[in-house]
Amino acid sequence: MKIAIPGGSGQVGHILARHFHAQGHDVTVFSRTPRPAPWREICWDGETPGDWIAALEQSDVCINLAGRSVNCRYYAANRRAIFDSRIRSTRLLNRVMASLPRAPRVWLNASTATIYRHALDRAMDEATGELGGREAGAPDTWNFSIDVATGWEEAFFDTATPRTRKVAMRSAITFSPDRGGIFDVLLGLVRHGLGGSQGPGTQFVSWIHEADFVRAVDLLIACEEFTGVVNLASPNPLPNADFLRALRAAWGTRIGLAAPGWLIEIGTWLMRTESELVLKSRRVVPGRLLAAGFQFQFPDWPAAARDLVSRWRLRTSRN
Ligand SMILES: NC(=O)c1ccc[n+]([C@@H]2O[C@H](COP(=O)([O-])OP(=O)(O)OC[C@H]3O[C@@H](n4cnc5c(N)ncnc54)[C@H](OP(=O)(O)O)[C@@H]3O)[C@@H](O)[C@H]2O)c1
């Protein structure tokens, strides 16, 4: 297959490009600053048509991941960039895709599990999950993330692309042992004795192991029944305190300083990020994947954490 990945130079794009490249598929990443890679990287700006259209037209599959990282403080300029980069690139692809005589047969667009409400009480699947936004007492940053996610999905679905099937991937945090990835950062806290529960510790963490993420993407590409929104998350989200306890056990330590809410606010400010990323309860489950018979290789966090830690150790011992 020929696979185009706009915005594929980041964490998730790297996981997917590596997977498809290893399977012998022809991978082309669209980047604002193409770099040498085992696959092809070509230039686009995410805003205007260009030579990249020829590569898109020849592709069987498009997986759009473009968007300014949300790992920053939500100041006005960052909010604008987070929102605009996602909406503009998705609208551009829609305009181009609708005009092509030969378009990719399937387009997977990134979305996020953050679109669901802060959920402590029950799990959110695609059919019965409730979207968040303006819940009483919800911080403004949480509402902002939901506005981004809903605007992004609207921009994706509002144009008909008769030759192209569309799926919005409501992904949970995708964990791989790669350098600089989210797992690397989280394990860094554990390694430095800071991996205790965060805030109340009762808020749920939704997550997916990279092996299941790429297998789920394979299924979404292969299976014509998938259109619309699909949750990509392990079937077993768990409270933050249990999540970190299992990660400490996988690393081999019992010590982890717990961080109350006020310390999380200071810590995330120092790390130039937002407390929403750890304090909002994401209790998201993969209803449609399970209904299609998808078998998770890592359904439970303790086994996933052990695998990620051992592969992280292997990677760092080689450096
Ligand atoms: N990581 C996760 O676990 C996770 C979970 C749920 C949803 N998502 C979503 O999935 C997508 C990929 O995630 P990721 O972790 O791989 O993100 P990432 O590492 O930040 O990569 C996103 C890519 O988007 C491109 N980009 C950044 N700013 C842009 C702009 N202003 N205009 C156009 N392109 C821009 C960048 O590529 P160039 O600089 O090369 O152009 C970057 O490599 C994101 O949209 C994210 O919100 C991720």
Taking the centre of ligand 1 as the mean of its atom positions, its distance from the CA of residue 68, in whole angstroms, is 6
Per the document, the length of the chain is 319
Res 23 pLDDT > 80: yes
R_g over Cα of the chain: 19
- Is residue 290 very low, low, confident or very high in pLDDT (cuts 50, 70, 90)? very high
pLDDT band at residue 277 using 50, 70 and 90 as cut-offs: confident
Domain containing 180 equals: 2-314
pLDDT at 229 (0 to 100) = 98
H-run or E-run covering 71: none
Q: Is the pLDDT of residue 299 over 90?
A: yes
Please give the Cα distance from 10 to 110 (Å, whole number): 13
Residue 75 lies in a domain: yes
Which residue minimizes the CA distance to atom 12 of ligand 1? 65
Mean pLDDT of 227-243: 98
CATH number, domain at 101?
3.40.50.720
Average pLDDT along the chain: 96
Q: Which residue has the least CA distance to atom 13 on ligand 1?
A: 12
Contact present, 57 and 2 (Cβ < 8 Å):
no
Please check whether residue 319 lies inside any domain of the structure. Answer: no
The answer to whether position 294 is within a domain reads yes
pLDDT tens, position by position, 173-226: 999 999 999 999 999 999 999 999 999 999 999 999 999 999 999 999 999 999
More confident residue, 20 or 264: 20
Relative to the CA of 89, which ligand 1 atom is closest?
Answer: 33
Residue 274 lies in a domain: yes
Query: What is the reported pLDDT for 163?
Result: 92
What's the CA-to-centroid distance between 27 and ligand 1, angstroms? 17
The pLDDT value given to residue 134:
76
**Distance between CA atoms of 250 and 302, rounded to whole angstroms?**
7
- Which alpha helices (DSSP H) does the chain contain, by range? 11-22, 52-57, 76-99, 140-157, 182-191, 210-222, 240-251, 261-270, 276-279, 287-291, 301-318
Question: In Å, how far are 61, 80, 127, 164, 230 from 147, measured between CA atoms?
Answer: 27, 12, 20, 26, 18
Residue 270: pLDDT band with limits 50, 70, 90? confident
Query: Within 13 Å, how many C-alpha atoms sit on residue 182's CB side?
Result: 20
Predicted confidence band of residue 318 (pLDDT cuts 50, 70, 90): confident
* Stretch (H or E) spanning 169: strand 165-171
Protein residue closest via CA to atom 23 of ligand 1: 7
For residue 305, how many other CB atoms are within 10 A of its CB?
27
Q: For residue 195, give the amino acid letter.
A: G
Q: Distance, CA 234 to ligand 1 centroid (Å)?
A: 21
In the structure encoding, which two tokens stand for residue 135, read together? 């819940």
Residue of minimum CA distance from atom 35 in ligand 1: 67
**Is 279 a domain residue?**
yes
Residues contacting ligand 1 via CB (< 6 Å): 7, 9-13, 31-33, 46, 65-70, 81, 85, 89, 110, 112, 171, 173-174, 182
Instruction: For residue 94, tell me if it sits in a domain.
Output: yes
**Ligand 1, from 14, 62, 65, 284: best to mutate by most atoms within 8 Å of Cβ?**
65
Atom in ligand 1 nearest the alpha carbon of residue 15: 16
Residue 24 C-alpha from the chain's centroid: 24
Q: For residue range 115-155, list pLDDT tens digits in order.
A: 999 999 999 999 999 999 878 888 899 999 999 999 999 99
d(CA 293, CA 296): 9
Say what the pLDDT of residue 274 is: 85
Q: How far apart are the CA of 212 and the centre of ligand 1, in A? A: 19
What is the per-residue pLDDT for 170? 98
Residue nearest to atom 20 of ligand 1 (CA): 69
Q: How far is the CA of 62 from the centre of ligand 1 (A)?
A: 15
Amino acid identity of residue 89, one-letter, is S
* Distance from the alpha carbon of residue 121 to the mean position of ligand 1, in angstroms: 30
Measured CA to CA, the distance from residue 205 to residue 84 in angstroms comes to 27
Number of compact structural domains in the chain:
1
Calculated CA dihedral for residues 155, 156, 160, 161, nearest 10 degrees: 140
Asked if the structure places residue 103 within a domain, the reply is: yes
Identify whether 304 is part of a domain: yes
CA 85 / ligand 1 centre spacing (Å): 9
